[in-house]
Structure 1
Amino acid sequence: MNLYIEENIKINKVFQQFASDDDIHPYSIDESIIDMTTSWKLFGNSPYEVARKIQLAVKKETGIYTTVGIGDNPVLAKFALDIEAKRNHSLIAEWHYEDVPDKLWPITEFENVWSIGQQTTKKLKSWKFNSMYDLAHSNPYELKARLGVVGSQLFALSWGIDRSIIHEKYIPKEKSYGNSQVLPKDYVIQSEIEVVIREIAEQVAARLRAHHKSATVINLGIGFSLAETTDSTRSRPGFGISMKINPTNSNLELTNHVLRLFRKKWHHESLRHISISCGNLIDDNTQQLDIFDTKDDELKNHILDHTIDDIRKKYGFNSLVKLSSKSKGATAIGRAGLVGGHAGGNAYD
C-alpha cells in the first residue's frame, strides 16, 4: 500500500502539468477528477486528444496505463470511466448529456452504476424499477418520499445531472474521528469481541489527543456476519447506537462508554465489522471532573495516556501494548503495520 500511495502521488503530479491544483480532486486512492473546462484547449484540439496526452504522460512517468472518462460533469465522466472506458481498447470514453438515453437508460443492473449499492437495488427492484430508464421517467417526488434525499439524487443521476464544482473544496460542517475494522473471521465470543472494541476505542482516543480534542458524543456501529444476516430468525444486518458523554479523550473513559453501548444492544450474534467514532468535539484544554472519581486519578490517567502516546510515536505502536492485545482474537498488533487496512509493504523493515 505504501508503494500504491507513492505511485498515486506521482500520477497526480502529472495531472498538475495539465490543470491547476484547484481543479484537481483526488477522489480515491486510484481515481482523480480533473476539471479541464478552461484548460483543455491549451493542450490539444479536443478533450479526447488531451486525455490521450495525459495517458501517455502518466505512462512515461510511471509505466502505468490509466483509464480515462470524459464527461460534461463529474458524474458523466465517472459513468464513462466505469461503464465504457474500462472495456475500450484505448481505455478512454467520452459521455455527454445527449448520450444518456442511449448509454445510461438501457442499464438494468443498477449495481453497475456508480453510487447504487445492493440494498438500494433490492428496493428499486421491489418497486418495479427495472432499468435506469424507469428511474429517469419516475415521479421524482415519489422517489424522494420513499428514499429521502437519496431518491432525489437517484433521479438526477438517471439524467446524468451533477452540479458539483471541483474547485469548491468541501469543508465538513462537523469534524469527527473514528476507526473501523472488518474482522478476519466471525467473532461470537464476548471476551474476544470486547478486546477488539477496546483496541479500537483506544486508537480513536489517541487520535483525539493527537488533535487536542475531546468528544462529547460517541458512536458504535456493529455489523453482523453474513451467516447472521441471511438467517431468517435474525434479519438485523447490525446495529448503530450513540450517546452523549462528558467531554473526554481518555482511553479508560471512552472504552467504558463504548463497552456499555455494546452490552446494551448485543444479543450474542456473530460479528464481522466494528466501527467507533467520536463527534461534537471541543478543545481538550478544559476538563469536567466526575464526582465519583478523584482529581488525582483523572490526572494520573491523563498523564499515562499521553506518555503511552509519546512512546508509540517515537518507537512505534508495538513498542508498548497491553497484555490483552496478545490474547486470542486481538487484532491491534497484527494491524499495526497496515496502511489503510492493507499490507503497507514494510514486512522486512
Structure 2
Amino acid sequence: MTHIAKRSVMLIDMQSFYASVEKTNHPEYKNKPLVVAGDPERRSGIILAACPIAKSYGVTTAEAIWQALKKCPDLVIVRPHMQQYIEVSMQITKILESFSDLVESYSIDELFIDCSGSLHLFGNSIIEMARQIQQRILIETGVYARAGIGENKVIAKICCDMIAKKIEGGIFYLRKDELYKHVWRNPIRDLWGIGSRMEKHLWNMGIRNIGQLANTPLSKLRKRWGVNGEVIWRVANGLDDSPVTPSSHSNQKIIGNGMTLPRDYREGWEIEVVLLDLCSQICRRTRGFGLMGSVVSVGCSGADWDRATGFSRQLKLVDPTNVTVDIYAAVKKLFHTYWDGLPVRRLSVALSDLSSADTYQLSFLKIMRRRGLLIK
C-alpha cells in the first residue's frame, strides 16, 4: 500500500482588505471607523468593506450607508479604488511565492499556499513559517493577514474562517482528527459552501451542526442531492485531495481566474467591479506570457448548491487581444446578456484560443486606434 504524505497547506486571508489598503494610504484614518462604499454620495449606497473599528459599532458589509451612519455617525466613507486593491493583492501573491512555488489565488484577498516542499527551510515549523508570512505582508503592504493551516485546502479554509480569524495572533493549525473539537459543534450555516436554502433542507433532516452532517451516512446525502451531497459531506469531514494550483503554467491553452464573493452580489455595478478585477489579472498574466486571446468566457453561479443558478458563455472576438479595456468590454456584454438578475456568489473569466503577441500583425487602423494607449 502506497503511503501518501500529509501536506502542509495554508489559507492566507487579509483582514478587511479594501479598508486596510485605504487606511495604509491614509494614515490619518488609522484610529477611525472606516468603510469602503460604492457611492458615498448616495445614502442608499452599499458598504463593500468595513474596518475592525467600524465593525465594533455593528457596521457590516452589504448594508446601506444610511444604516451604517445610524450605528456610527462619525464613520469615514471612502470610494473603492479597485486597481489599487488588485496591485496590493498581486504584491501579496509575490510575497507568498517567495515561500513556495505553489500559490493559488482563491479571491482577491484569500490565497492558498502549499508549503510541504519548503517547510524544511523554516525548521519544519509551519507556525513559524506562517508568522514570517504574516509579518512580511504587514511590513510590506500594511495589511494584517490571518492563516488557517491544515493538511488540505478544505481544512485550511475551515480553520481560517472558524478559528484563525477569531483568535489573537490570527494563526491556527487544525488537525483533521481534531475537527470534532474545534469545528463540529458550529452551526451548519458556518460550513464552507452551505447557503440559506441548503441550511433549511438540512434542518428539515434534523441536521443542525457540522458534526451531525459529518456523521450522516453518505448514501443518504447522495440519494438526496447526488454529487453535491457528497461534496458537503466531504467538507464537513475535512476530506480534500485537490492540489494547490499556481495560476501560471507554461504552454497554456487558456488563462482564467475565478472569485468566490464574500456575500451575495445583487447589483450590476458591484458585480462589474469584480469582473474588472478578474479581467485585469487575466490580461496582465496574458501579457506576461507574451500571448493574446481570441475567445472570452464568462461564468457565474449562486450560493445554493441544491438550486443551480447562473450561466457559462463565451464570445469570439474579432481580433486577438490582451488589452484589459477590450476584454472587459466583451465580458460586460456577455454578463449582462445572460445574467438573470439572481444573486451571484461566484464569478469566473477566461481568455482562450491563445496566440503569440509577437506574431500577430495589427492592421493600420488598429495601430491608429491604439496609438498612445498605455497598458499598465
TM range (shorter): 0.5 to 0.7
- Residue 77 (1) aligns with residue 153 (2): no
Partner residue of 2:115 out of 25, 28, 36: 36
**Equivalent AA in structure 1 for residue 214 of structure 2:** A
Tell me: CA distance 1:239–1:313, structure 2 relative to 1, closer, same or farther (3 Å). farther
Partner residue of 1:8 out of 89, 99, 109: 89
Cα-to-partner distance string for 1:174-213 (whole Å, 9 max, x where unaligned): 99999x983369xxxxxxxxxx9xxxxxx9xxx9xx9664
Partner residue of 1:162 out of 224, 240, 255: 240
Tell me: CA distance 1:144–1:10, structure 2 relative to 1, closer, same or farther (3 Å). same
TM-score, L = length of structure 1: 0.54
Partner residue of 1:126 out of 204, 208, 213: 204
CA distance in 2, matches of 1:114, 1:154: 8
CA contact (8 A) 2:214 2:237 kept: yes
Q: CA deviation at 1:311?
A: 3.9
Q: What residue in structure 2 maps to residue 47 of structure 1?
A: 126
- Residue 135 (1) aligns with residue 219 (2): no
CA contact (8 A) 2:154 2:240 kept: yes
CA distance in 2, matches of 1:114, 1:166: 17
CA contact (8 A) 2:158 2:191 kept: yes
Helix, strand or coil at the partner of 1:67: strand
Tell me: CA distance 1:105–1:173, structure 2 relative to 1, closer, same or farther (3 Å). farther
Helix, strand or coil at the partner of 2:149: strand
Q: What residue in structure 1 maps to residue 267 of structure 2?
A: 182
Q: What residue in structure 2 maps to residue 297 of structure 1?
A: none
Compare the two structures and name the one with the higher helix fraction: 1
CA distance in 1, matches of 2:244, 2:254: 21
CA RMSD of aligned residues (A): 5.1
Q: What residue in structure 1 maps to residue 225 of structure 2?
A: 147
**Equivalent AA in structure 2 for residue 17 of structure 1:** S
Tell me: CA distance 1:5–1:37, structure 2 relative to 1, closer, same or farther (3 Å). same
Helix, strand or coil at the partner of 1:32: strand
Q: CA deviation at 1:44?
A: 3.2
Q: What residue in structure 1 maps to residue 358 of structure 2?
A: none
Cα-to-partner distance string for 1:103-128 (whole Å, 9 max, x where unaligned): 12111142x22222222222222222
CA contact (8 A) 2:301 2:309 kept: yes
CA distance in 1, matches of 2:198, 2:227: 13
TM-score, L = length of structure 2: 0.50
CA contact (8 A) 2:186 2:209 kept: yes
Tell me: CA distance 1:28–1:277, structure 2 relative to 1, closer, same or farther (3 Å). closer
CA distance in 2, matches of 1:309, 1:238: 44
CA distance in 2, matches of 1:132, 1:41: 34
Tell me: CA distance 1:212–1:173, structure 2 relative to 1, closer, same or farther (3 Å). closer
Cα-to-partner distance string for 1:147-184 (whole Å, 9 max, x where unaligned): 12111111111111111111487999999999x98336
Q: Which structure 2 residues correspond to residues 1-349 of structure 1 after superposition, within 5 A?
A: 1-19=82-100, 21=101, 23-110=102-189, 112-167=190-245, 182-183=267-268, 213=294, 271=341, 311=369
CA contact (8 A) 2:253 2:353 kept: no
Tell me: CA distance 1:248–1:37, structure 2 relative to 1, closer, same or farther (3 Å). closer
CA contact (8 A) 1:43 1:50 kept: yes
Cα-to-partner distance string for 1:200-241 (whole Å, 9 max, x where unaligned): xxx9xxx9xx966479xx999999xxxxxxxxxxxxx99768
CA contact (8 A) 2:104 2:246 kept: no
CA contact (8 A) 1:24 1:33 kept: yes
Q: CA deviation at 1:38?
A: 2.4
Q: Which moved more, 1:119-128 or 1:158-167?
A: 119-128
Helix, strand or coil at the partner of 1:55: helix
Structure 1, unpaired ranges of 5+ = 186-195, 197-202, 224-236, 284-305, 317-349
CA distance in 1, matches of 2:248, 2:343: 28
Q: CA deviation at 1:14?
A: 1.6
Tell me: CA distance 1:174–1:88, structure 2 relative to 1, closer, same or farther (3 Å). same
**Equivalent AA in structure 2 for residue 104 of structure 1:** V
Cα-to-partner distance string for 1:277-300 (whole Å, 9 max, x where unaligned): 999x989xxxxxxxxxxxxxxxxx
CA distance in 2, matches of 1:151, 1:95: 24
**Matched residues, number:** 247
CA distance in 1, matches of 2:368, 2:86: 26
